Structure 1
Amino acid sequence: MSSCQHETLLLDVSPHAAEAGFARPPLAKRKAATTASGRASGSTADHLRLESLFPGPLVLPDDCLAIDPKEPPQSLRSWTNEKLRNPFTQERKTIYIVPAPDVPSRTVFSRTLQSWALPFVLQAPLKEGCDTPKVKYIRNYLDAFYHPLPVRTLPNMARFVPWTEGKSKPSSKEPPQHIGLQMGDNVTRITTRPCPDETYPRQLNLNDMLDAVIEALPDDAYALVMLTEHDLYEDDDDDFCCGRAYGNSRVAVVSSARYHPLLDKPTDIDREHTWPFSHCDAYVRRVCRDAEDAEAADSTTGGGTKRRKLGSPVPDPDTTPTEQPMARVIRAGLGGSGPNHSPTGMWLARMVRTVAHELGHCLCLDHCSYYACVMQGTAGMAEDLRQPPYLCLVCEAKLARAVRDLGEVHQDGVGEGEVLLKRYERLVRFCTLWETVGMFGAYRGWLQERIAMLKEGSPL
């Protein structure tokens, strides 16, 4: 069980946000951002009640919005007017998942590739207790998350092969600088490098892999995401990258490597304060205070410049007592064995959230700064795990408009509200299968609160 009971919760940005220069869009702009006209409508009281389930982004030290606080938010209206947005059509509406590439068996090459997918903290693959997320579960989650869009798996489509261009035989004395990724009849060269932080033996270049995926996009695909068990990097100065989408090209690649639960301890992940426990007010204040103390120490030793005097007033964040909706979500997350239960389930929860995020970019959804949202940007693993699995009010409106444009929502009298309810109910069923995992148990509680609001006549 968790030792922290999260007695007071944060529903708005942290005290660090103002220091970092981040100003959250005010209530009127948040309301307007959910409308096609770009004008605020509806009751402020109703919207505030909705926002009891949609806290603001935390913006803790070194978070994405603390590093780039001026990133412009994307409203429904600006998303609708985006010229590069790819609309759904009846001929192009399927989301495809490509499982991790196969590796030829019983060869030096296969043993090399398999070793690259094993973190250094493990001496050998685990026999039980922490299984790589299964594609069927990821597909089932996406099928609910992106309902009513069809989600399909493309098995046996990708495989790693030796890259032999320019030489007759790969050397077994040193790690190959390049490998091949075969997708259909095409083989793309993938650059490899040693892992800078030595978490894994070697990494694959993400941009190379995305180039390979683009070539394999089926004609009827709206988007395609390929999974991989290998660690990835994007640029030379990256330590690693968990995933990336080429949104306009409708492709994404997501790695499960950094989400391995057994990496939490060596990377100082605070499991007690991953989502939704990240909204614990005591936790947020502690993180902000620790960062301020570290900055002060750095300044006194000449290592940096303080941006604010110690002891200067910090606005009290909005908090909520334990009878409010987000507190019930917290209790749902604590109800099973808490956030530390089932490494396999935790690994799956982390993976599906990122896959849903990258596919959101294929729908031309930008990073979100209106609310805590699955479409937030992330600057590191700790921030990644603090973010929610749901789409916020603004991003949910974009998905609803995309599906409505497909022409399937208003047929037979089915409206956006009914589609949203169906989507939430399918997610509830999925989360129920994994309810002893902190994120899924809490997500089910969040979904049930949201469903209750919708059935009571709350606006979308």
Structure 2
Amino acid sequence: MKRCTHNNVYTDCSPAAANAGFIRPPIDKRLAATTPSGRRTAEPLATQQDAMSNGWSFPGPLVLPDDDLALDPEYPPQSLKSWLSYNKKMPITAERNTIYVVPPPEITNSVKKMTKDWEKPHVPRESVTAGLPEGIPLPTTDDVCNYLRAFYHKMTIKKHEGKFRWQAWDSGSAKGPKYMGLATPKPSEELIGVRYRQSPDGIARIQVNLNDVLDALIDRVPPDAYAVVMLTDQDLYEDEDDDFCCGRAYGESRIAVVSSFRYNPALDGYSDIQLEHMWPASHCKSYVDALCDVDKQQPKRAKTSSNSPTTPLTAALNASKAVPNPKTRDELAGMWFSRVARTMAHELGHCLGMDHCVYYACAMQGTAGMAEDVRQPPYLCPVCLSKLSRGLCSFVGSGSVVNLQREFIQQRYNVLRDFCENWKHVAMFAGYQAWIDGRLEENREGVRE
């Protein structure tokens, strides 16, 4: 089958956004959201106005049917001014500037039989992807740490050296929830009871309760840590009504957990993920129109554009399109890792006080499902980047805050680009690198987007 050309794209919200009642903040509100005063004045911006109004650098959120913002179209925006009030309570300092990444807990002999193949999904026959190889390597903690070192430039990223371990748990009763024990490492060793169940959709043999997992982290934040995030290989759920949950952060407690389970490429058919329309091709007009049933419903038309040849979005589209669909174990492992890396950065963003984004297509958008998850970009939009750069610009040097923010953003783009260079065989990272190159070129030309 011939691959889609993505010749026309949506640079703003989809037709479904208006039908859902979502009203995107206009450009004056977006500009004001990047200032500490919360007002649009003559003060300079870390990201210049031309870029913030140009959808070819920073498109609007798509808001497709059943997307997070379609289900909750009045979700309140968070400006830089709002974020600063949080940051005052919990600033990033030289003494507390470290993010600890906890590797997946080890499985002890006491639960090996019970947890056999728990990281492997049970895919319904009708959703099996033909020709998919067995034994795709799981995302590694080391790779996640390397990505976070670039994404959270100027923060220290460390792999947690303590070993968390799954062990047997004696619940004392056959009735009620089932428990496994999660043993915490020295110096505060303890066995935490973690509820588990089979997933309601039958995809996971064992699914553990993320709130219980977070309870094992909450009292074990090292003194120099700004945040702690655990990577798990097993499926998660938050409450009994959930089918599953890929990750969650307790922002004020500075802890998070992320599961790699649902990002497994073996589940793409079950999750209705179209490989050729993951970000950045998620903005493709033909793809969006098909999901919105444009011809059937004839909704209010949204703004589309033909590909502009020299923009970050076009560069990202062309670069990702040049990467063949993954087929080998290593290629599929790279795609699996890219998905987990984006979610890790998102959940840690909550630990840094960033709320879900409604201004642009952005790594801090909320998601309502796996198909939406892979449609969203890995980059931070100008509003969310104003928060991160404001929180970390003091590590760049001294001078005016806005100039330090701009220098931080430039440095961060460079280190992210270097990371993506080593992963350009993966479509998301190839697109991200090309998008960054486009942004750097715009900055050199004085058109900051």
Give the drift of 1:46.
2.1
Q: Does residue 444 of structure 1 match 2:444?
A: no
Distance of 1:401 and 1:350 partners within structure 2: 27
Distance of aligned partners of 1:4 and 1:83 in 2 relative to their CA distance in 1, 3 Å threshold: closer
C-alpha distance after superposition, 1:131-151 (max 9, x if no partner): 100111100000000001110
Whether 1:144 aligns to 2:137 is: no
1:2 and 1:272 in contact (8 A); partners too = no
Deviates more, 1:328-337 or 1:387-396: 328-337
Contact 1:340–1:437 (CA<8 Å) still a contact in 2? Answer: no
Q: Secondary structure at the match of 1:379?
A: coil
1:252-263 counterparts in 2 under 5 A? 252-263=256-267
Corresponding residue for residue 349 of structure 1: 338
8 Å contact from structure 1 (residues 57, 371) kept in 2: yes
Answer yes or no: is 1:240 the counterpart of 2:244. yes
TM-fit CA distance, 1:319: 2.1
TM, length-normalised to structure 1: 0.88
Indicate which of 132, 155, 164 corresponds to 2:161: 155
Report the more deviating stretch, 239-248 or 258-267: 258-267
1:305 aligns with none
Q: 1:421 aligns with which of 399, 410, 413?
A: 410
Aligned AA (2:418)? R
Q: Give the aligned residue type for 1:147.
A: H
Deviation string 1:218-250 (CA, Å, 9 cap, x unpaired) is 111000000100100001110000000000000
Match of 2:7 in 1: 7
The match for 1:18 is 18
- Residue 196 of structure 2 aligns to a residue whose secondary structure is strand
**Residue matched to 2:387:** 398
Q: Aligned pair in 2 of structure 1 residues 387, 340: CA closer, same or farther (>3 Å)?
A: farther
Q: What amino acid is the match of 1:148?
A: K
What does residue 307 of structure 1 align with? Answer: none
AA at the equivalent of 2:19: E
What is the match of residue 75 of structure 2?
71
Give the match for residue 334 of structure 1: 321
Cα distance, 1:439 vs structure 2: 0.6
Alignment partner of 2:227 out of 220, 223, 226: 223
- Amino acid of the residue matched to residue 110 of structure 1? K
**Aligned AA for 1:130?**
I
The CA deviation at 1:85 is 4.8
| Structure 1 gap ranges (5+) | 294-309
Give the TM-score normalised by structure 2: 0.90
Q: Secondary structure at the match of 1:39?
A: coil
Per-residue CA deviation, residues 95-136 of structure 1 (Å, 9 max, x unaligned), is 00000000114x5x113223222211399xx98662100111
> Closer, same or farther in 2 for the Cα pair 1:61/1:324, shift >3 Å?
farther
| Percent of residue pairs bearing the same amino acid type | 46
Q: Which amino acid aligns with 1:315?
A: R
Tell me the secondary structure at the aligned position of residue 252 of structure 1.
Answer: strand
Counterpart residue identity of residue 183, structure 1: T
Q: Contact (CA 8 Å) 2:13, 2:62: kept in 1 or not?
A: yes
8 Å Cα contact 2:87-2:391 kept in structure 1:
no
Query: Paired residue for 1:267?
Result: 271
Bigger shift: residues 153-162 or 252-261: 153-162
Instruction: Return the alpha-carbon distance in structure 1 between the equivalents of residues 62 and 434 of structure 2.
Output: 21
| Aligned pairs (5 A) from 1:34-433 | 34-40=34-40, 41=42, 46-47=50-51, 51-82=55-86, 85-105=89-109, 107=110, 109-121=111-123, 130-166=136-172, 177-184=178-185, 185-289=189-293, 310-311=297-298, 314-325=300-311, 326-338=313-325, 342-404=331-393, 407-411=394-398, 415-433=404-422
Query: What residue identity is the alignment partner of 1:77?
Result: K
SS at match of 2:333: helix
Q: Does 1:30 align with 2:17?
A: no
How much has 1:212 moved relative to structure 2? 0.7
Deviation string, structure 1 residues 352-389 (Cα, Å, up to 9, x no partner): 00000000000110000000000000000000010000
Between the two proteins, the alignment pairs up a number of residues equal to 431
Contact 1:101 1:160 in 2 (8 A): yes
The aligned amino acid for 1:283 is Y
Q: Post-superposition shift, 1:176?
A: 8.7
**Aligned residue identity for 1:393:** P
Deviations 1:264-312 (A, max 9, x none): 123321111110010101111110007x95xxxxxxxxxxxxxxxx44x
1:297 paired residue number: none
Secondary structure, counterpart of 2:64 in structure 1: coil
Contact 1:121 1:199 in 2 (8 A): yes
Give the secondary structure class of the aligned counterpart of 2:106: coil
Q: Distance in 1 between matches of 2:310 and 2:283?
A: 13
Please identify, of 332-341 and 346-355, the stretch whose mean Cα deviation from structure 2 is larger.
Answer: 332-341
SS in 1 for 2:207: strand
Counterpart code for 1:188: I
Deviation of 1:455 (Å): 2.5
Contact conserved, 2:7 with 2:306, CA < 8 A, in 1?
Answer: no
CA pair 54-343 structure 1, distance change in 2 beyond 3 A: same
Cα RMSD between the aligned structures?
Answer: 2.6
1:190-211 per-residue CA deviation (whole Å, 9 max, x = no partner) reads 0011110001112100100011
Gaps of 5+ in 2: 126-131
